[in-house]
Amino acid sequence: SQQGEEDPQALSIQEGENATMNCSYKTSINNLQWYRQNSGRGLVHLILIRSNEREKHSGRLRVTLDTSKKSSSLLITASRAADTASYFCATPGSGGSNYKLTFGKGTLLTVNP
């Protein structure tokens, strides 16, 4: 399996509910990033969490990182229909290849109005 795998693959919730997505990775990392991709569009950078951080907030987003379990979670609170998108975690390559981002297959989030 690949570095950076999200689960679930798909998640459907009602507006106002919280959405939690998880990401697992294999190798040591300096940071982990979450991106959003609306259908047929490019990627938008949401948040970056460094390896020495355990939790980070940005608006309605909360990201956690557990380096001992090599996993991260993205929580979107009070979801809105506009949050409907695919969400990807990405990890940088090691050493001198830190520019080489590795993405998982993503979680498709559908928020129903």
Partner 1 sequence: NAGVMQNPRHLVRRRGQEARLRCSPMKGHSHVYWYRQLPEEGLKFMVYLQKENIIDESGMPKERFSAEFPKEGPSILRIQQVVRGDSAAYFCASSPERAAETQYFGPGTRLLVL
Rounded CA separation 64/88 (Å): 14
Judging by beta carbons within 10 Å of its beta carbon (0-12, 13-18, 19+), is residue 64 exposed, middle or buried?
Answer: middle
Is 27 a residue that touches partner 1 (CB under 8 A)?
A: no
Is 25 a residue that touches partner 1 (CB under 8 A)?
A: no
Judged by CB under 8 A, which of 72, 84, 88, 91 binds partner 1? 88
Give the containing element (helix H, strand E) for 19.
strand 19-24
Is 35 a residue that touches partner 1 (CB under 8 A)?
A: yes
DSSP assignment letter at 3: S
Is 26 a residue that touches partner 1 (CB under 8 A)?
A: no
- 109 phi, psi to nearest 5 deg: -100, 125
Judged by CB under 8 A, which of 4, 11, 19, 83 binds partner 1? 4
Minimum distance from residue 55 beta carbon to partner 1 (Å)? 18
Rank residues 15 and 47 by Cβ distance to partner 1 and give the closer one: 47
The terminus-to-terminus CA distance of the chain in angstroms comes to: 35
Judged by CB under 8 A, which of 40, 59, 95, 113 binds partner 1? 40
